[in-house]
Amino acid sequence: MSVAVHDASNQDEAPGGDWTVCFEKATLSKVDFAAVPDGAPCPKKDGRRIPWPKMPNVKGATYARAVEKLGDAVGDVDIEAAYADEAAYDTNNDDGDYANWKVCFQSVKAGAALPFEPDVTLHAVEKGEACPSSKGLYKDPTNDPGYVDPDYVDPDDESSADGGSSGGSGSSEEDYHPGDKGGCPPGGCYNPCPPGGCR
């Protein structure tokens, strides 16, 4: 009697020695096993998609509740501060110092498949705080290395502005240039002869 093994899912991968058998089909001359990778759940039927658990939406939940909700579907559940100028770090601790922190962001999108229990990072804020609009912002903007005080005036800009405003704006005959076509300076041309011409 011959023995064969094939992928029980729809991925059609070559089975390994540590794969788990989900189904078997036997005849008088052959046994055919359908298996999945170690740690993967069996599909409902041979050749179907592996029913990996889905990532739940834990935004707004406390860190403790998120750890409980994720359960065995993921590996480590880490917590980090959502604000760049705050510090927080813990792993799988639903009764530690950060148990009541509120989750603002999750590293795996809600509804995504969770193959082979991936690690998940949750970014959170202290209880009662508002979440930032995006991860990594500063709770106190002045802590940002790139922060610029809106009231700050650059001394170089101020001195160049003063220098540019000096000097008169009036015109005189001395600095008048008639150009190629000639003409009189501002105030008119000087004529030494009386009306009627000179004698």
Q: What single string gives the DSSP state of each residue in the chain?
A: -EEEEEESSSS-PPP-TTPEEEEEEE-SSEEEEEEE-TTPPPPSSTTSPP-PPBPP--TTSBHHHHHHHHGGGSS-EEEEESSTTS--EEES-TTSTTTTPEEEEESS-TT-B-TT---EEEEEE-TTPPPPSSTT--SSGGGSTT---TT---HHHHHHHHHHT-S-----STT----TT--PPTT-----SPTT---
Of the listed ranges 7-21, 39-53, 162-176, the least confidently predicted one is: 162-176
Same domain for 86 and 125?
Answer: yes
Domain encompassing residue 33? 1-51
Residue 177 has what pLDDT? 56
Task: Count how many domains the chain has.
Answer: 2
Residue 11 has what pLDDT? 94
Residue 152 has what pLDDT? 79
Of the listed ranges 36-40, 122-126, 169-173, the least confidently predicted one is: 169-173
Same domain for 84 and 139?
Answer: yes
Same domain for 39 and 70?
Answer: no
Same domain for 136 and 69?
Answer: yes
Domain boundary pick from 15, 30, 51: 51
Residue 191 forms part of a structural domain? no
Residue 195 forms part of a structural domain? no
User: Has residue 131 got a pLDDT over 60?
Assistant: yes
Same domain for 79 and 133?
Answer: yes
* 69-91 b/e (C-beta count within 10 Å ≥ 16 → b): ebeeebeebbbbbbbbebebebe
User: Has residue 174 got a pLDDT over 60?
Assistant: no
pLDDT band with cut points at 50, 70 and 90 for residue 191 = low
pTM recorded for the entire structure: 0.68
Same domain for 37 and 83?
Answer: no
Residue 181 forms part of a structural domain? no
Provide mean pLDDT across the span 154-173.
58
Provide mean pLDDT across the span 164-171.
51
Residue 171 forms part of a structural domain? no
Tens-digit pLDDT profile for residues 15-55: 999 999 999 999 999 999 999 999 999 999 999 999 999 99
